[in-house]
Amino acid sequence: MELQKQIYAKAKEIEPQIADFLSRLVQTPSFSMKEADVVKVIHAEMDKLGFDNIRVDALGSIIGTIGSGKRIIAFDAHIDTVYPGNRNNWDFEPFSGHIADGYLWGRGTSDQKGGLASMIYAAKLIKELDLNNDFTILFTGTVMEEDCDGIAWEHMIVEDNIRPELVVSTEPTSLNIYRGHRGRMEITAEVKGVSCHGSAPERGDNAIYKMARIALEIEKLNDRLQNDEFLGKGTITTSLFKSDSPSQCAVADYAMLQVDRRLTKGETMELAVQQLEDCAKRANIDADIKVLRYEEKAYTGKIYPVQKYYPTWVLDKESPYLITAEDAFIKVFDKKPIIDKWTFSTNCVFIMGKHPEIKCMGFGPGDEDQAHAPNERIKVSDLGDAAAFYAGLVAGLNGKL
Protein backbone atom coordinates (compact mmCIF):
# COMPACT_ATOMS: atom_id res chain seq x y z
CA MET A 1 0.00 0.00 0.00
CA GLU A 2 1.29 3.48 -0.87
CA LEU A 3 2.44 5.44 2.16
CA GLN A 4 -0.20 8.15 1.81
CA LYS A 5 -2.95 5.53 1.74
CA GLN A 6 -1.38 3.84 4.75
CA ILE A 7 -1.38 7.12 6.65
CA TYR A 8 -5.04 7.81 5.92
CA ALA A 9 -6.19 4.25 6.63
CA LYS A 10 -4.34 4.14 9.93
CA ALA A 11 -5.68 7.55 10.95
CA LYS A 12 -9.27 6.45 10.33
CA GLU A 13 -8.60 3.23 12.20
CA ILE A 14 -7.58 5.12 15.35
CA GLU A 15 -10.30 7.77 14.99
CA PRO A 16 -12.42 6.23 17.78
CA GLN A 17 -9.41 6.49 20.11
CA ILE A 18 -9.00 10.17 19.21
CA ALA A 19 -12.70 10.75 19.86
CA ASP A 20 -12.51 8.99 23.23
CA PHE A 21 -9.56 11.16 24.23
CA LEU A 22 -11.38 14.30 23.10
CA SER A 23 -14.44 13.29 25.14
CA ARG A 24 -12.27 13.10 28.24
CA LEU A 25 -10.70 16.46 27.45
CA VAL A 26 -14.12 18.09 27.10
CA GLN A 27 -15.27 16.49 30.33
CA THR A 28 -12.35 18.20 32.09
CA PRO A 29 -13.17 21.94 32.22
CA SER A 30 -10.08 24.09 31.67
CA PHE A 31 -10.75 27.79 31.64
CA SER A 32 -7.90 30.26 31.29
CA MET A 33 -5.63 30.16 34.36
CA LYS A 34 -7.44 26.95 35.47
CA GLU A 35 -5.85 24.37 33.17
CA ALA A 36 -4.09 22.19 35.77
CA ASP A 37 -6.56 19.28 35.63
CA VAL A 38 -6.56 18.99 31.85
CA VAL A 39 -2.75 19.07 31.80
CA LYS A 40 -2.84 15.87 33.87
CA VAL A 41 -5.18 14.23 31.35
CA ILE A 42 -2.91 15.23 28.47
CA HIS A 43 0.23 14.10 30.29
CA ALA A 44 -1.25 10.67 30.90
CA GLU A 45 -2.24 10.30 27.24
CA MET A 46 1.17 11.38 25.97
CA ASP A 47 2.77 8.90 28.35
CA LYS A 48 0.47 6.10 27.15
CA LEU A 49 1.33 6.87 23.51
CA GLY A 50 5.06 6.69 24.17
CA PHE A 51 6.19 10.28 23.76
CA ASP A 52 9.97 10.55 24.11
CA ASN A 53 9.79 13.43 26.56
CA ILE A 54 6.99 15.23 28.40
CA ARG A 55 7.37 18.35 30.51
CA VAL A 56 5.33 21.24 31.88
CA ASP A 57 6.89 24.70 31.71
CA ALA A 58 6.81 27.45 34.32
CA LEU A 59 3.66 29.02 32.86
CA GLY A 60 1.86 25.66 32.82
CA SER A 61 1.94 24.64 29.16
CA ILE A 62 2.59 20.97 28.45
CA ILE A 63 5.21 20.08 25.83
CA GLY A 64 5.50 16.54 24.49
CA THR A 65 8.37 15.60 22.19
CA ILE A 66 9.04 12.83 19.68
CA GLY A 67 12.15 12.45 17.56
CA SER A 68 15.65 13.78 18.03
CA GLY A 69 16.50 15.47 14.74
CA LYS A 70 18.54 18.63 14.50
CA ARG A 71 15.62 20.57 13.01
CA ILE A 72 12.63 21.54 15.17
CA ILE A 73 8.97 21.87 14.22
CA ALA A 74 5.92 22.11 16.46
CA PHE A 75 2.20 21.44 16.48
CA ASP A 76 0.28 23.72 18.82
CA ALA A 77 -3.13 23.67 20.48
CA HIS A 78 -4.34 25.86 23.32
CA ILE A 79 -5.90 23.85 26.13
CA ASP A 80 -8.05 26.53 27.75
CA THR A 81 -11.62 27.32 26.78
CA VAL A 82 -14.07 30.13 27.35
CA TYR A 83 -16.91 29.64 29.82
CA PRO A 84 -20.24 28.17 28.62
CA GLY A 85 -22.13 31.45 29.07
CA ASN A 86 -25.90 31.34 29.50
CA ARG A 87 -26.77 27.69 30.11
CA ASN A 88 -30.27 28.32 28.75
CA ASN A 89 -28.70 28.60 25.29
CA TRP A 90 -27.41 25.03 25.51
CA ASP A 91 -29.48 21.99 24.61
CA PHE A 92 -27.24 19.70 26.69
CA GLU A 93 -24.64 19.76 29.47
CA PRO A 94 -21.75 21.85 28.05
CA PHE A 95 -19.10 19.44 29.33
CA SER A 96 -20.84 16.21 28.32
CA GLY A 97 -18.39 15.29 25.55
CA HIS A 98 -21.02 12.94 24.10
CA ILE A 99 -21.12 11.61 20.55
CA ALA A 100 -24.34 11.77 18.51
CA ASP A 101 -25.22 12.18 14.82
CA GLY A 102 -21.58 11.99 13.74
CA TYR A 103 -20.52 14.85 16.02
CA LEU A 104 -18.79 15.13 19.37
CA TRP A 105 -20.49 17.81 21.45
CA GLY A 106 -19.37 20.20 24.18
CA ARG A 107 -17.41 23.29 25.13
CA GLY A 108 -13.97 23.23 23.57
CA THR A 109 -14.65 20.59 20.91
CA SER A 110 -13.83 22.87 17.97
CA ASP A 111 -12.03 25.59 19.93
CA GLN A 112 -9.85 23.77 20.26
CA LYS A 113 -9.43 20.51 22.07
CA GLY A 114 -10.25 18.65 18.87
CA GLY A 115 -7.02 19.93 17.36
CA LEU A 116 -5.13 18.86 20.47
CA ALA A 117 -6.53 15.32 20.35
CA SER A 118 -5.79 14.94 16.63
CA MET A 119 -2.22 16.22 16.82
CA ILE A 120 -1.32 14.02 19.81
CA TYR A 121 -2.59 10.94 18.01
CA ALA A 122 -0.74 12.06 14.90
CA ALA A 123 2.39 11.51 16.96
CA LYS A 124 1.33 7.88 17.30
CA LEU A 125 1.03 7.61 13.51
CA ILE A 126 4.38 9.30 12.96
CA LYS A 127 6.12 6.87 15.30
CA GLU A 128 4.38 3.70 14.15
CA LEU A 129 4.79 4.42 10.43
CA ASP A 130 8.37 5.71 10.86
CA LEU A 131 7.62 9.01 9.14
CA ASN A 132 10.26 11.18 10.83
CA ASN A 133 14.04 11.18 10.71
CA ASP A 134 15.07 14.82 10.45
CA PHE A 135 13.08 16.60 13.15
CA THR A 136 12.55 16.99 16.84
CA ILE A 137 8.78 17.47 16.89
CA LEU A 138 7.08 19.36 19.72
CA PHE A 139 3.40 18.95 20.55
CA THR A 140 2.43 21.90 22.73
CA GLY A 141 -0.72 22.22 24.81
CA THR A 142 -0.61 25.91 25.62
CA VAL A 143 -2.32 27.88 28.37
CA MET A 144 -4.18 31.20 28.66
CA GLU A 145 -4.81 31.69 24.93
CA GLU A 146 -8.43 32.70 25.41
CA ASP A 147 -7.31 35.42 27.81
CA CYS A 148 -4.16 36.47 25.97
CA ASP A 149 -3.46 34.74 22.67
CA GLY A 150 0.21 33.97 22.20
CA ILE A 151 1.41 34.57 25.76
CA ALA A 152 2.36 30.91 26.25
CA TRP A 153 4.48 30.90 23.10
CA GLU A 154 6.10 34.24 23.93
CA HIS A 155 7.12 32.65 27.21
CA MET A 156 8.50 29.55 25.48
CA ILE A 157 10.41 31.56 22.88
CA VAL A 158 11.84 34.26 25.14
CA GLU A 159 12.28 32.43 28.44
CA ASP A 160 13.05 28.87 27.27
CA ASN A 161 14.57 29.67 23.85
CA ILE A 162 12.24 27.25 22.05
CA ARG A 163 12.48 28.35 18.42
CA PRO A 164 11.05 25.90 15.89
CA GLU A 165 11.41 26.67 12.19
CA LEU A 166 7.69 25.94 11.73
CA VAL A 167 4.65 25.89 14.03
CA VAL A 168 1.38 24.36 12.84
CA SER A 169 -1.57 25.80 14.74
CA THR A 170 -4.37 23.26 15.07
CA GLU A 171 -7.08 25.89 15.65
CA PRO A 172 -10.26 25.06 13.66
CA THR A 173 -9.98 25.62 9.89
CA SER A 174 -12.67 23.23 8.58
CA LEU A 175 -9.75 21.09 7.33
CA ASN A 176 -8.47 23.91 5.14
CA ILE A 177 -4.91 25.24 5.21
CA TYR A 178 -4.63 28.74 6.66
CA ARG A 179 -1.65 31.01 6.18
CA GLY A 180 -2.44 34.13 8.19
CA HIS A 181 -4.86 36.39 9.98
CA ARG A 182 -5.17 39.97 11.11
CA GLY A 183 -3.51 41.15 14.29
CA ARG A 184 -5.29 42.93 17.09
CA MET A 185 -4.88 45.38 19.97
CA GLU A 186 -6.71 46.35 23.13
CA ILE A 187 -6.49 50.12 23.68
CA THR A 188 -8.18 52.49 26.12
CA ALA A 189 -8.95 56.18 25.99
CA GLU A 190 -9.53 58.06 29.26
CA VAL A 191 -10.90 61.56 29.72
CA LYS A 192 -11.43 63.69 32.79
CA GLY A 193 -14.21 66.14 33.52
CA VAL A 194 -15.36 68.36 36.37
CA SER A 195 -18.24 67.23 38.54
CA CYS A 196 -21.06 69.38 39.83
CA HIS A 197 -24.62 68.86 41.00
CA GLY A 198 -26.82 67.30 38.36
CA SER A 199 -29.42 70.02 38.81
CA ALA A 200 -27.04 72.55 37.25
CA PRO A 201 -24.91 70.60 34.72
CA GLU A 202 -23.64 73.82 33.11
CA ARG A 203 -21.41 74.32 36.13
CA GLY A 204 -19.40 71.18 35.35
CA ASP A 205 -17.63 69.48 32.45
CA ASN A 206 -19.23 66.14 31.64
CA ALA A 207 -16.66 63.44 30.85
CA ILE A 208 -19.30 61.19 29.26
CA TYR A 209 -20.20 63.84 26.68
CA LYS A 210 -16.52 64.35 25.91
CA MET A 211 -15.98 60.63 25.43
CA ALA A 212 -19.10 60.39 23.29
CA ARG A 213 -17.55 62.81 20.80
CA ILE A 214 -14.44 60.64 20.62
CA ALA A 215 -16.60 57.51 20.15
CA LEU A 216 -18.28 59.11 17.13
CA GLU A 217 -14.87 59.82 15.61
CA ILE A 218 -13.86 56.20 16.20
CA GLU A 219 -16.96 55.08 14.32
CA LYS A 220 -15.90 57.23 11.36
CA LEU A 221 -12.32 55.97 11.58
CA ASN A 222 -13.47 52.41 10.98
CA ASP A 223 -14.59 53.37 7.48
CA ARG A 224 -11.19 54.86 6.63
CA LEU A 225 -8.96 51.95 7.71
CA GLN A 226 -6.86 50.27 5.06
CA ASN A 227 -7.67 47.05 3.27
CA ASP A 228 -5.51 44.09 2.25
CA GLU A 229 -6.38 41.83 -0.67
CA PHE A 230 -5.81 38.65 1.35
CA LEU A 231 -6.40 39.54 5.01
CA GLY A 232 -9.18 42.03 4.45
CA LYS A 233 -9.85 45.34 6.10
CA GLY A 234 -8.58 46.67 9.43
CA THR A 235 -11.37 47.42 11.87
CA ILE A 236 -11.99 49.29 15.10
CA THR A 237 -14.96 49.16 17.42
CA THR A 238 -15.77 50.31 20.93
CA SER A 239 -16.09 47.35 23.28
CA LEU A 240 -16.29 48.72 26.83
CA PHE A 241 -17.36 51.97 28.45
CA LYS A 242 -17.02 53.07 32.08
CA SER A 243 -17.68 56.34 33.85
CA ASP A 244 -17.58 57.73 37.34
CA SER A 245 -19.07 60.62 39.28
CA PRO A 246 -19.47 61.58 42.94
CA SER A 247 -23.11 60.42 42.90
CA GLN A 248 -26.08 59.55 40.69
CA CYS A 249 -27.03 63.21 40.92
CA ALA A 250 -23.74 64.56 39.66
CA VAL A 251 -22.01 65.28 36.38
CA ALA A 252 -19.50 62.55 35.47
CA ASP A 253 -15.88 63.55 36.08
CA TYR A 254 -14.30 60.48 34.45
CA ALA A 255 -14.92 58.26 31.43
CA MET A 256 -13.04 55.35 29.89
CA LEU A 257 -13.61 53.72 26.55
CA GLN A 258 -11.93 50.52 25.35
CA VAL A 259 -11.58 49.55 21.71
CA ASP A 260 -11.01 46.30 19.86
CA ARG A 261 -8.65 47.12 16.99
CA ARG A 262 -8.06 44.52 14.26
CA LEU A 263 -4.89 45.15 12.27
CA THR A 264 -4.54 44.22 8.63
CA LYS A 265 -1.24 43.84 6.82
CA GLY A 266 0.86 47.00 7.11
CA GLU A 267 -0.90 48.35 10.20
CA THR A 268 1.28 48.67 13.30
CA MET A 269 0.84 49.44 16.98
CA GLU A 270 2.26 52.93 16.49
CA LEU A 271 -0.17 53.63 13.65
CA ALA A 272 -3.18 52.39 15.64
CA VAL A 273 -2.30 54.52 18.67
CA GLN A 274 -1.74 57.59 16.49
CA GLN A 275 -5.11 57.09 14.80
CA LEU A 276 -6.87 56.98 18.15
CA GLU A 277 -5.04 60.07 19.29
CA ASP A 278 -6.18 61.75 16.08
CA CYS A 279 -9.79 60.82 16.90
CA ALA A 280 -9.46 62.70 20.18
CA LYS A 281 -7.95 65.69 18.37
CA ARG A 282 -10.76 65.71 15.81
CA ALA A 283 -13.21 65.77 18.72
CA ASN A 284 -11.16 68.57 20.32
CA ILE A 285 -10.85 66.50 23.51
CA ASP A 286 -7.76 65.90 25.64
CA ALA A 287 -7.55 62.11 26.12
CA ASP A 288 -5.01 59.69 27.53
CA ILE A 289 -4.50 56.77 25.09
CA LYS A 290 -2.97 53.53 26.43
CA VAL A 291 -2.21 50.06 25.08
CA LEU A 292 -3.28 47.63 27.78
CA ARG A 293 -1.04 45.06 29.47
CA TYR A 294 -1.89 41.51 30.50
CA GLU A 295 -0.67 40.65 33.99
CA GLU A 296 -2.84 37.77 35.17
CA LYS A 297 -1.51 34.83 37.19
CA ALA A 298 -1.15 31.42 35.54
CA TYR A 299 -2.35 28.34 37.38
CA THR A 300 1.30 27.71 38.29
CA GLY A 301 1.38 31.03 40.13
CA LYS A 302 3.62 32.73 37.58
CA ILE A 303 2.81 36.19 36.19
CA TYR A 304 4.28 36.93 32.77
CA PRO A 305 3.35 40.49 31.74
CA VAL A 306 2.87 41.22 28.04
CA GLN A 307 1.50 44.16 26.11
CA LYS A 308 -1.87 43.56 24.47
CA TYR A 309 -0.49 44.09 20.99
CA TYR A 310 -0.89 40.99 18.85
CA PRO A 311 0.84 41.53 15.49
CA THR A 312 -0.49 40.59 12.09
CA TRP A 313 1.18 37.66 10.32
CA VAL A 314 1.03 36.15 6.84
CA LEU A 315 2.94 33.15 5.51
CA ASP A 316 4.09 33.84 1.95
CA LYS A 317 2.12 31.84 -0.61
CA GLU A 318 5.44 30.71 -2.13
CA SER A 319 6.73 29.42 1.22
CA PRO A 320 8.27 25.94 0.89
CA TYR A 321 6.37 24.92 4.02
CA LEU A 322 3.07 25.87 2.41
CA ILE A 323 4.02 24.10 -0.83
CA THR A 324 4.88 20.95 1.14
CA ALA A 325 1.60 21.21 3.05
CA GLU A 326 -0.40 21.53 -0.18
CA ASP A 327 1.38 18.53 -1.65
CA ALA A 328 0.79 16.45 1.50
CA PHE A 329 -2.91 17.38 1.49
CA ILE A 330 -3.30 16.35 -2.16
CA LYS A 331 -1.56 13.03 -1.58
CA VAL A 332 -3.43 12.16 1.62
CA PHE A 333 -6.92 13.31 0.55
CA ASP A 334 -6.66 13.07 -3.26
CA LYS A 335 -7.97 16.60 -3.78
CA LYS A 336 -6.65 20.15 -3.71
CA PRO A 337 -6.82 22.13 -0.44
CA ILE A 338 -8.47 25.49 0.12
CA ILE A 339 -5.88 28.04 1.22
CA ASP A 340 -7.42 30.73 3.41
CA LYS A 341 -7.13 32.71 6.66
CA TRP A 342 -8.74 32.90 10.09
CA THR A 343 -11.18 35.65 11.00
CA PHE A 344 -10.22 35.39 14.67
CA SER A 345 -6.80 35.54 16.30
CA THR A 346 -4.51 32.66 17.35
CA ASN A 347 -1.24 31.99 19.17
CA CYS A 348 0.54 32.74 15.88
CA VAL A 349 0.41 36.48 16.70
CA PHE A 350 3.27 36.05 19.15
CA ILE A 351 4.96 33.22 17.24
CA MET A 352 5.35 34.54 13.69
CA GLY A 353 3.84 37.97 14.37
CA LYS A 354 6.59 38.94 16.84
CA HIS A 355 9.22 36.47 15.66
CA PRO A 356 8.94 36.37 11.86
CA GLU A 357 11.81 33.92 11.52
CA ILE A 358 9.47 31.26 12.99
CA LYS A 359 6.95 30.39 10.29
CA CYS A 360 3.33 29.49 11.02
CA MET A 361 0.49 27.85 9.21
CA GLY A 362 -2.86 26.51 10.33
CA PHE A 363 -4.83 23.30 9.87
CA GLY A 364 -7.40 22.05 12.29
CA PRO A 365 -10.51 19.94 12.73
CA GLY A 366 -13.72 21.75 13.56
CA ASP A 367 -15.23 24.97 12.31
CA GLU A 368 -14.36 28.53 13.25
CA ASP A 369 -18.00 29.52 13.68
CA GLN A 370 -18.30 27.02 16.55
CA ALA A 371 -15.80 28.98 18.64
CA HIS A 372 -17.41 30.41 21.80
CA ALA A 373 -20.87 29.38 20.57
CA PRO A 374 -23.49 27.43 22.54
CA ASN A 375 -24.01 23.79 21.49
CA GLU A 376 -20.41 23.67 20.26
CA ARG A 377 -19.59 20.56 18.24
CA ILE A 378 -17.03 18.92 15.97
CA LYS A 379 -17.35 16.25 13.29
CA VAL A 380 -15.86 12.99 14.49
CA SER A 381 -14.60 12.39 10.95
CA ASP A 382 -12.55 15.60 11.17
CA LEU A 383 -10.47 14.11 13.97
CA GLY A 384 -9.00 11.27 11.94
CA ASP A 385 -8.63 13.47 8.87
CA ALA A 386 -6.64 16.06 10.80
CA ALA A 387 -4.36 13.40 12.30
CA ALA A 388 -3.77 12.04 8.79
CA PHE A 389 -2.78 15.47 7.49
CA TYR A 390 -0.38 16.15 10.37
CA ALA A 391 1.32 12.81 9.82
CA GLY A 392 1.39 13.39 6.06
CA LEU A 393 2.92 16.82 6.52
CA VAL A 394 5.71 15.36 8.66
CA ALA A 395 6.30 12.67 6.06
CA GLY A 396 6.46 15.34 3.37
CA LEU A 397 8.88 17.51 5.34
CA ASN A 398 11.08 14.42 5.73
CA GLY A 399 10.94 13.72 1.99
CA LYS A 400 9.08 10.44 2.50
CA LEU A 401 5.73 11.18 0.92
CATH number at residue 259: 3.30.70.360
Same domain, 131 and 162: yes
> pLDDT for 115-136, tens place per residue?
999 999 999 999 999 999 999 9
Judged against a pLDDT cut of 80, whether residue 364 lies above it is answered with yes
Q: Which of 229, 259, 294 represents a domain boundary (last residue)?
A: 294
pTM: 0.95
What CATH code is carried by the domain that includes residue 380? Answer: 3.40.630.10
- Distance (Å, rounded) from C-alpha 346 to C-alpha 150? 7
Same domain, 100 and 177: yes
Quick check: is 301 in a domain? no
Could you give the C-alpha distances from 372 to 23, 115, 150, 302, in angstroms and in order? 18, 15, 18, 26
Asked if 80 is an active-site residue, the reply is yes
- Tell me which residue of 142, 134, 132 sits closest to 162, measured CA to CA: 142
> pLDDT for 34-68, tens place per residue?
999 999 999 999 999 999 999 999 999 999 999 99
Asked if 149 is an active-site residue, the reply is no
Q: Which of 250, 268, 294 represents a domain boundary (last residue)?
A: 294
The pLDDT value recorded for residue 323 is 98
Catalytic site residue from 35, 57, 76, 80: 80
Same domain, 198 and 287: yes
The pLDDT value recorded for residue 23 is 98
Domain interval for residue 262: 184-294
DSSP assignment of 247-291 equals STTB---EEEEEEEEEE-TT--HHHHHHHHHHHHHHTT---EEEE
Per the CB < 8 A criterion, the answer to whether 107 and 81 are in contact is yes
Same domain, 91 and 190: no
Same domain, 89 and 148: yes
Mean pLDDT of 334-347: 97
Catalytic site residue from 45, 145, 146, 171: 145
Q: Which of 231, 259, 294 represents a domain boundary (last residue)?
A: 294
The pLDDT value recorded for residue 217 is 98
The pLDDT value recorded for residue 1 is 67
Quick check: is 270 in a domain? yes
Same domain, 172 and 320: yes
Per the CB < 8 A criterion, the answer to whether 95 and 33 are in contact is no
Quick check: is 304 in a domain? no
The pLDDT value recorded for residue 378 is 98
> pLDDT for 196-248, tens place per residue?
999 999 999 999 999 999 999 999 999 999 999 999 999 999 999 999 999 99
Same domain, 245 and 286: yes
Longest dimension (CA), the chain: 86
Same domain, 42 and 122: yes
Of the chain, the percentage scoring pLDDT greater than 70 comes to: 100
Same domain, 284 and 348: no
Same domain, 351 and 280: no
Same domain, 233 and 208: yes
Quick check: is 14 in a domain? yes
Quick check: is 299 in a domain? no
For the chain, the average pLDDT equals 98
Mean pLDDT of 361-382: 98
Total structural domains in the chain? 2
Judged against a pLDDT cut of 90, whether residue 83 lies above it is answered with yes
> pLDDT for 4-41, tens place per residue?
999 999 999 999 999 999 999 999 999 999 999 999 99
